[in-house]
Structure 1
Amino acid sequence: MKNRVLILGGRGRIGSSVAADILTHTDAMVTITGRSEANNQNLGEKTEFLVLDLAEVEKLESIIASSNLVIHCAGPFHYRDANVLKLCIAAGVNYLDVSDHRSFTTKALKYHDAAVNAGVTAIVNTGIFPGISNSMVRHDVEQFDIAEKIHLSYLVAGSGGAGITVMRTTFLGLQNPFTAWVDGEWQTVKPYTKREDIVFPAPYGRGGVYWFDMPETLTLPAAFPTVKSVITKFGSIPDYYNHLTWIAAHIFPKFWIQSQMGVEFLSTVSHKMTNFTDQFSGIGVVVRSLRDVSRSHVTGNKDGKQSTYCSTLTHDNTAVATGYGTGTIAELILTGALNQPGVHTTESALPTHLFTQAMQSRGINISSHWV
C-alpha cells in the first residue's frame, strides 16, 4: 500500500510547497487540509483536499489514524499547543512540523519520552529557518574539534513568496524580549536590536540583520554543548522594511504591537506592500553560517588553532526552500532512511550525509569553506 501523508494547513504557500516537494520526490498520496472549501484548486491524481479545523478533534484523530506521516503547517505556532503531536503519538503516526517559535518548540520537546515509547519519529522546526539552517550548522560544527560560537544570519527579499501567516509570525516575534545563549550564559535580548550590515552573495549584496527570536537560539546550545554563544539575526530587503520593522518594535506603543488587532493590521499592510515590491526585489532567501569580523559564523578549535568555517545557501523563493527542508525529512522518513523515535529538532535528528544527499537531489547548492 502507498504511504499517506496528511498536511495540516496545506493550502497556504508554505504547506503547498511542502506538498509539491513530497509529490515530486515520493509516491505518497497526500491529503491537504484547510478550514474552508478549496476554490478551483487542481490537486492532481495523488492529492485530495479535506475541510478540517484543528478544533474538530474527533475528525482530526480519524484522519491521523489513516496516515503514515502528519505534517503540521497550520501556523502561526505562537498560538498552537502540542495537541496534534499528542494525537500522532497516541496513534503511532510519525510527525513533522514547520514550527518557528520557541514557545511551541518547548511544548513539543516535552513529549520526547512518550514518542520514544510509542516508536514515533517526531521532528520539529523542519523548514528553511529553522530547518535547513540547523542542518547547515550541524555540518559546520562537525568540521571542528571543539565548536565555540554559532552566528546565523537570514535575509529575505520582500515577502519571500510566503503568505500573510509568515507576516503575522514576524510581528509576533517583536512582542517580547527573549533569552539567548551568549558568552556561556542566558542573557535577555531585545528583538530587532544590534543591527549588523553583512555582505551576502549576489544578487543580495549588503543587507542589515537584527536579533530575532528563533527556536535555534534555544535548541542549538542543547545540541552542541561546547558552544558558548548562539546568535540568530534576521533582516529584509529592500532595507526600508528593516526600518519599518524596527519602528514597529521600538516606537509603536507596546500595548498595540502586543494586541491581536495591531498584529493583524501590521501583517495585512505589510503583505500588501511586499506583494507590490516583490516584482522589484524578488522573493528569495539567503542563509549564512560563518565567522568573519562582523558576520554570521561558526568558530572553534581545529587542530589546536582557532578557526572559522562558513556555509551559505541562496534560493530565489523562500516558500519553496521551506518546502525542500520539510519535504527532505518527509522523504527520508517515508523511505525508512530516517527512523529515530522521540521528539527531536532538525539538527539533532538529521545526519549530515543524508541532509547533503537530499539537498543535492533538489539542486540546492550550499557553499562551504574555511575563512
Structure 2
Amino acid sequence: MQVLILGGSGRIGSNVAADLLAHTSADIVIAGRNPSGGEKLSQQLGERVKFAIVELSDPLSHSLNHGGVDRDRLEAAISSADLVIHCAGPFLYRDTSVLEICIARGVNYIDVSDHPSFTRKALAHRAAAEAAGVTAVVNTGIFPGISNSMVRRDVEQLDKPEKIHLSYVVAGSGGAGVTVMRTTFLGLQRPFQAWLEGQWQTVKPYSDREVVEFPTYGKVGVYWFDMPEAFTLPATFPVESVVTKFGTVPQFYNHLTWSVARWWHPKLLQARATIEFLSRVSHFMTDVSDRFSGVGVAIRSEVTGQKNGQTVRCCSTLVESDTAVAAGAGTGTVAALILSEKLKKPGVWAVEQALPTDMFEGVMRDRGIEIQQHLSPM
C-alpha cells in the first residue's frame, strides 16, 4: 500500500508519517514544496519514505493552483496512491480540489482540517464519494480528531444525551509550526453559530471565559472558539447544546488572544498580513516559553443526560506530552484502519461519524494513549 501525505514535511505531516511507519507496512510519499527539507526528512524517516515535489498554492492564497505542471503532478501523485492524507493547511484557504481528485480517481482520503468553512465544503461531496466507493474522513488529528471520538464514546454511555461540553488546553506552541498559529488567529475573525438550547445562536470568538480543571494543567480559563465540532457534533448526536472552548498555558497567552479578539477591529483581523504578523510573533514567543511550559495538550469531554431515569454526567479526559505527536497518532489511526479495510464507509464524514467506538478504543490502546472516563450522577 502507498500513502501520499500532502504537507508531509510539516510538523503534523511528519508525525503522521512516523505513526504510519510504526503501525503499518505502507510505503509513504511525503509531498511538499521544499526539496531540501523534504529530502532530508525522508532520509531521517527511512527507506520506506520518499519525497516528491507536489506544490499546492501558497498557504495564504485562496485555492489550489489549477493550471500547468503542478496540477498534473498532483493528479499523478494521487493516482499512484491507495490513500491520500491532506495535511497542508491552513484549511481556510484551501478548496476541496484534492478531495475531488481523490473521488474521481477512486482513492481514499483523510485530512487534518480544522476550519469549519473547509469542513462544510468537504461534507458537501458525500454523495459523490459514496457513489465512487471512496471513504473520506475529515477532521482527524487531536482536536478535532481524537476529541470527537471521545465525545462519541461518552454519548454512548447515556440513554439520552442532552449537552456536550468539549474543552481543550494546549501548552505553548503544542509542538506545531506557524500554520497552527495562523489557525488560532483565523478563528478570531468573526462571530459564529453555536447549537445552544435547541437552536443556533451567535457567539463571539474568545468570549465567555470559563475555568475548567484539566489533569496535569489544573484550572485553566477556556473561551469560545470556532471549531468544526461546533456543527458536526450536533449533526451527529441528538443533543440540545454543544459547547466548544479552548485555552492555552502559560495563561497570559489567553489574555493576549482575548485582547486581540476584543479590541482589534474586525477588518484588521481579516487582513492576511495581520494574521501572518500575529502568527509569526506568537510562534517566536512560544519558541521561548515552550522550554518551560512544554508542548502538551489536554482534552476534557463532558456529556450530560439521562441514564436509567437519572441525570448523569460522563466525563473523559486525555493528556499527551506533545500535541503534534498526538495529532499524528489521531490521523495515523484512521489511516491504518482504512489501509487494512477495517474502516470502510463510502462518503465524506467527520471522524466521529465514521469511526466506531470499539475501533477507536483498540487503536488508542495500541498506541498507549490513555483516556480516563468517569460516569457520575449530577
Scaled by the length of structure 2, what TM-score is found?
Answer: 0.94
CA distance in 2, matches of 1:215, 1:365: 24
* Counterpart mapping for 1:194-343 below 5 A: 194-202=208-216, 204-224=217-237, 226-290=238-302, 298-343=303-348
Deviations along 1:320-347, one digit per CA (max 9) or x if unpaired, are 0000110000000001110110001110
CA distance in 2, matches of 1:154, 1:278: 17
Deviation at 1:256, TM superposition (A): 1.8
CA distance in 1, matches of 2:77, 2:251: 44
CA distance in 2, matches of 1:119, 1:340: 8
CA distance in 1, matches of 2:153, 2:340: 23
CA distance in 1, matches of 2:157, 2:239: 14
Residue 353 (structure 2) aligns with: 348
Deviations along 1:99-141, one digit per CA (max 9) or x if unpaired, are 0011000000111010011000000000100010000000000
SS of equivalent residue, structure 2 residue 149: helix
Amino acid at match of 1:266: L
Aligned residues of 1:36 and 1:52 also touching (Cα < 8 A): no
Across the aligned residues of Structure 1 and Structure 2, the Cα RMSD in angstroms comes to 0.8
Residue 294 (structure 1) aligns with: none
Residue 196 (structure 2) pairs with residue 171 (structure 1): no
* Counterpart mapping for 1:126-165 below 5 A: 126-165=140-179
Aligned residues of 1:153 and 1:234 also touching (Cα < 8 A): yes
Deviations along 1:277-332, one digit per CA (max 9) or x if unpaired, are 00000000000012xxxxxxx00110111110000000000000000110000000
CA distance in 2, matches of 1:307, 1:152: 16
SS of equivalent residue, structure 1 residue 62: helix
Deviation at 1:358, TM superposition (A): 0.2
Residue 62 (structure 2) aligns with: none
CA distance in 2, matches of 1:232, 1:367: 19
Aligned residues of 1:288 and 1:311 also touching (Cα < 8 A): yes
> Identical aligned pairs, as a percentage?
61
CA distance in 1, matches of 2:160, 2:116: 26
- Structure 2: where are the runs of 5+ without partners? 57-64
Residue 98 (structure 2) pairs with residue 84 (structure 1): yes
Residue 86 (structure 2) pairs with residue 72 (structure 1): yes
CA distance in 2, matches of 1:324, 1:152: 20
Amino acid at match of 1:364: I
Residue 2 (structure 2) aligns with: 4
Aligned residues of 2:165 and 2:301 also touching (Cα < 8 A): yes
Which residue, 6, 19, 22 being the options, matches 1:21? 19
Aligned residues of 2:18 and 2:45 also touching (Cα < 8 A): no
Aligned residues of 1:38 and 1:49 also touching (Cα < 8 A): no
Residue 127 (structure 2) pairs with residue 113 (structure 1): yes
Deviations along 1:15-69, one digit per CA (max 9) or x if unpaired, are 1011110111000000001112133332410000111112221111111011000
CA distance in 2, matches of 1:20, 1:257: 35
Deviations along 1:168-193, one digit per CA (max 9) or x if unpaired, are 00000000000000000000010000
CA distance in 2, matches of 1:254, 1:99: 24
Question: Which ranges of 4 or more aligned residues in structure 1 deviate by more than 3 Å?
Answer: none
Scaled by the length of structure 1, what TM-score is found?
Answer: 0.96
Amino acid at match of 1:105: T
Deviation at 1:259, TM superposition (A): 0.4
Residue 295 (structure 1) aligns with: none
SS of equivalent residue, structure 1 residue 149: strand
Aligned residues of 2:158 and 2:305 also touching (Cα < 8 A): yes
Residue 64 (structure 2) pairs with residue 62 (structure 1): no
Amino acid at match of 2:339: L
Aligned residues of 1:311 and 1:367 also touching (Cα < 8 A): yes
SS of equivalent residue, structure 2 residue 15: helix
Aligned residues of 2:190 and 2:266 also touching (Cα < 8 A): no
Amino acid at match of 1:183: E
Amino acid at match of 1:163: G
Aligned residues of 2:206 and 2:224 also touching (Cα < 8 A): yes
Amino acid at match of 2:91: F
CA distance in 2, matches of 1:253, 1:107: 28
Deviations along 1:217-254, one digit per CA (max 9) or x if unpaired, are 01001101x20000000000000000000011111222
Residue 59 (structure 2) aligns with: none
Which residue, 48, 51, 71 being the options, matches 1:49? 51
SS of equivalent residue, structure 1 residue 38: helix
CA distance in 1, matches of 2:212, 2:123: 33
CA distance in 2, matches of 1:149, 1:38: 49
CA distance in 1, matches of 2:273, 2:7: 22
